[in-house]
Structure 1
Amino acid sequence: MNEFAVPDVAAAVFPDTRDTVARYAQYLRTSGVERGLIGPREVSRLWDRHILNCAVVTDLIDEAATVVDVGSGAGLPGLVMAIRRPDLRMTLLEPLGRRVDWLHEVIAGLELDNVEVVRARSEEIAGTRRFAVVTARAVARLAGLVPWTLPLAEPHGSVLAIKGAAAEAELAKAGQPLRSFGATSWSIETAGGSVLETPTRVIHVRVGQNGGKVPGRKKRHSG
């Protein structure tokens, strides 16, 4: 198949927004590569490894949920999720200016009205904003990801960390930080099994009635 062609499975995953996601793929393979948001070697596997892999995770998200994608980069997974699910209210959280500029350009070009971009690190907004779902992909191993994601989860909210074959090993090392930051349960789930040859593996973390725990801030003492 032509690496630039839209695969047939995209019609099943994006039944109402196939044209929009095809335009997003075009942004990725052109300006996304030129400006260093993705590597040129990823162009040949944009659909199976990146776009479709991310899109099916929305099967685990309730209707009209508020979602924040931590370290959104090139919009993977957050922008893909917003394209597939216009009902979601998506926030792309990204600290690097060049990535933020590119995301704004793509969102404007695709005329998406359910997405905002916030230039910040997660710890800079923790305690000020909460979301029903927090997502992350290729940001850090789970134990390191916990302090960046759980504090953003609202009461009874979730964190969806997209992982691969290392999911079990990462989860085995993350029990203590998960409990420390308010997690009440966690499991490994799959998404897209009915349409994708290789389903997406997700570590699904749930928080309790108080939401994720926000680390205490040290008080400044006047001299």
Structure 2
Amino acid sequence: MTVSPDIAALRPTLEHGLAELALDPALSQPLLDYLALLARWNRAYNLTAVRDPAEMVTRHLLDSLAMHPYLQAGALADLGTGPGLPGIPLALARPDVQVTLVESNGKKARFLREAVRSLGIANARVLESRAEQVDEAGAYRQITARALATLAGILDVGGHLLAPDGVLLAMKSGTTDEESRELPPGWAIRDVHPLRVPGLEARRELVVVART
């Protein structure tokens, strides 16, 4: 895929961030292809409020990829994925993870199907559905949801998708303690991993929630 000069100019920043995250800098090409597609569709369909491609590198690509060391091989459901975040960057970085992109918004689901097709992402598929209506109980080793607000809210709509030993992987910004008190019975926080997102000063942590 040919990317515009302004997108291509972001390669050094992206490659530096990938190196900080211990990821192969060769990932920069498919990630830039995805970024170019997202930026083009975003002008017409308003898929994300972040409109500057340089800002997308940090706030979308690298922020999504910061959790990659904690993924398990196997099935991952990304609930309310929007334009594919964090699911598409993670699928590109981790071919051993089969990513299901769950999105109920029609225009975003159309973008996701085009992205998976045009980028040739063999380990990703799109489900145009609300998370609570996905009829695949117990089919996933892990779920994540970057856009949904609380740990309890994610489990409410997607907890049924997890295998008995499956985990919720949730990116948080300092709200873990208060949200832990709202978890439904039978669920508890197993781990909290501090994350460093290259180029981002905001606090990030990955919260791992499992059945008790």
TM-score normalized with structure 1 length: 0.79
Distance between the aligned counterparts of 2:37 and 2:204, measured in 1?
23
Show the counterpart of 1:60.
Answer: 70
Are residues 10 and 22 of structure 1, via their aligned partners in 2, closer, same or farther at CA, if it must alter by over 3 Å? farther
Partner secondary structure for residue 67 of structure 1: strand
Partner secondary structure for residue 145 of structure 2: strand
Are residues 160 and 11 of structure 1, via their aligned partners in 2, closer, same or farther at CA, if it must alter by over 3 Å? closer
Show the counterpart of 1:214.
Answer: none
Larger radius of gyration: 1
Residue-by-residue CA offset, 1:68-125 (whole Å, 9 max, x unaligned): 0000111011111101111111100111111111001111111110000011112212
Q: Which amino acid counterpart does residue 49 of structure 2 have in structure 1?
A: G
Say which of 5, 19, 27 aligns to 2:10: 5
Distance between the aligned counterparts of 1:152 and 1:185, measured in 2?
18
Give the C-alpha shift of residue 58 in structure 1.
1.6
User: What does residue range 133-172 of structure 1 map to in structure 2 within 5 Å?
Assistant: 133-172=142-181
Show the counterpart of 1:201.
Answer: 205
Say which of 113, 129, 133 aligns to 2:122: 113
Partner secondary structure for residue 66 of structure 2: helix
RMSD of Structure 2 on Structure 1 (CA): 2.3
Q: Which amino acid counterpart does residue 188 of structure 1 have in structure 2?
A: V
- Identity of matched residues, %: 25
Partner secondary structure for residue 137 of structure 1: coil
Unaligned runs of 5+ in 1: 209-223
User: What does residue range 117-136 of structure 1 map to in structure 2 within 5 Å?
Assistant: 117-126=126-135, 128=137, 130-136=139-145
Give the C-alpha shift of residue 142 in structure 1.
2.3
| 1:31 and 2:41 matched | yes
Partner secondary structure for residue 158 of structure 1: strand
Distance between the aligned counterparts of 1:40 and 1:187, measured in 2?
30
Does structure 1 conserve the Cα–Cα contact (< 8 Å) formed by 2:66 and 2:196?
A: yes
Unaligned runs of 5+ in 2: 1-5
Distance between the aligned counterparts of 1:52 and 1:147, measured in 2?
28
TM-score normalized with structure 2 length: 0.83
